[in-house]
Chains A and B, each alone.
Chain A
Amino acid sequence: MQVFTNKSKELMENIERFLACVTNASLHFEEAMKDYLHGRMEKFEERRKEVAAIERNADNQLKDVKYKLYAFMLIPDTRGDVFKLMNDLDDVIDYTKRILLELSIECPEFPDFIFDDMLRITEASSKSVSSVVKGVRSFFSQTKMVEDQVNRVVFYENEVDKLEEQIKRRAFSSEELKELSRKVQIRYFTERIALLSDLSDDIGKNLLIYTIKRMV
């Protein structure tokens, strides 16, 4: 029983650290986007590297979580759900890192007329990630709060969808942007940023099912 006590405690700590990584990555992503849009490239690069470090840390935590879940037979009836949940959240961090890396490599230029929309879509996507992390925390201890957090995720995802459409329409109907390649590039990055909220939305939907299964 002592073995279970120690391993349970360690597992709880690993899960908490992993969730903190997801939140941190999302917050850094939002700030990095602001830096990029405002042309503060040095700060942007620092943030990007910070996110890459968080992603590595998250991978280590996730490896420990998976090992402890299966090696010590912890939560045998729900570990499949927890495993999937952690993997899906890991995808969110991976995408966050990838978007920043692609921005760093491709250095797209965002025209002024979509500047505010880009900030707003980033903020809404980041909020959807934060909400889904709160939902996951609730899944572990306060199941009644899960639905509320998932509703928030759905709200932000809808906001992101609206902004995504708006940015694309403006970019493609703009007289200012002459080259198709730039329009396509803006569309690509808009879709990438919106994907974060789509992933959060998928996790939120699964979370509702896991919560029903977890109920006593």
Chain B
Amino acid sequence: MGIEVLIFLSSGLFMGWSLGANDAANIFGTAVGTRMVKFSTAAVICCIFITLGAVISGAGASEGLGRLGAVNALPGSFVVSFSAAFTVMWMTRAGLPVSTTQAIVGAIVGWNLFSGNPTDTTVLTRIAGTWVYGPILSAVFAIIIYFIVKTIVEKSGVHLIKLDRYTRAALIIAGIFGSFSLGANNIANVMGVFIPASPFSDLKIMGIRFTGTQQLFLIGGIAISVGVVTYSKRVMMTVGTNLFKLSPVTAFVVIVSTALVLFLFASQELYQWLSARGLPTLPLVPVSQSQACVGAILGVSIAKGGRNINFRLLGKISIGWVATPVMAAILCYVALFFMQNVFMQQVFI
């Protein structure tokens, strides 16, 4: 692997880093912020299970994203990933809630427009549809799980101190599930655009075959882990203490609901199981973890009587739904022009 390949992969690694820095907070933010779980424990769990989720179950959502546009030249992949990462960074600095999924989708559409590759509107509609029903599904899960947990806690008459112990354990288990689901679903945002132009060939280590895509996902997983270790603590403390005033028990509800949504949109096994029985399936596409998380928090608020719902935040998220992909698409189009005409790189085949 040459230095050129590393340079082109760097934008994906940056995307991975920012995903690790920001999205790990949605999993462990409340637990770490309220000191229910130590940051070191949270970081180790995130690193291991995000990487495992990416390598084991990352293919489904990545294929779904690939159907939107198969970026087939490494410089093109670099620009697409860079545009998405830059959009995420810019929107975050502007204080707008942002989704890496929407940014990458916008950037791919930008590449399609530039390369003259037709955008499959069915796939686009399916992905864009998840931006609406992903949070709704998450809210529904949160309401159901909230009432189950509430009933169990109230009926069992568990002592407050014991409940604290069980909640810690539950938060760790939910964090494992959340990390795995995040890796499985969102690795597509980090490395998905590099798959068609992947520089890796299959490897066999101790009798186990690692595909080029899995190697790519492993690198992406490591980049996410670096983001978790180096920067997520600050974001976790912000999420845990300032942004969402969740109790540790409701935090558990939010994590599980969010993770379930991500898992449903990433699990190939579940997809096959449902389609084999003629049941309706969910598309295997990357969904926004942040929006699923907001949906779950909204669900908990509704379950608690619908008070304290921040409609301004909801309005901001709606703006983000439109602004993020549009901005990423425009940025990607312009950057591809520069890459092709100024740096003389082939951005599509």
Q: Which residues of A contact B (CB under 8 A)?
A: 1, 4-5, 8, 11-12, 15, 73-78, 82, 139-144, 214, 216
Contacts and interface: CB of A to CB of B under 8 A. Distances in A.
B157 A141 contact: yes
Given A76-B35, A144-B154, A216-B153, A4 B165 contact: yes
Interface stretch (B64-72, B77-85, B242-250): B242-250
B178 to A, nearest CB: 19
Contact of A78 (B159, B160, B169): B160
A75 B169 contact: no
8 contacts: A4-B168, A12-B159, A12-B162, A74-B164, A75-B164, A82-B160, A141-B160, A216-B150
A216 to B, nearest CB: 5
Chain B's interface size range is: 20 to 34
A8 B162 contact: yes
A141 B164 contact: no
Contacts of A5: 165
A139 to B, nearest CB: 7
B34 interface: yes
Interface string B128-169: 000000000000000000100110011001111110110011
B165 A216 contact: no
Interface of B: 34-36, 146, 149-150, 153-154, 157-162, 164-165, 168-169, 247-250
Contacts of B149: 216
Contacts of A73: 35-36
Contacts of A77: 34, 36, 247-248
Contacts of A1: 168-169
Given A8-B162, A12-B162, A75-B161, 17 more contacts: A4-B165, A8-B164, A74-B164, A75-B164, A77-B34, A77-B36, A78-B160, A82-B160, A139-B160, A140-B160, A140-B161, A141-B158, A141-B160, A216-B149, A216-B153, A216-B249, A216-B250
Contacts of A143: 154
A5 B165 CA distance: 7
B107 to A, nearest CB: 40
Q: Which of A4, A74, A77, A214 has the most CB of B within 10 A?
A: A77
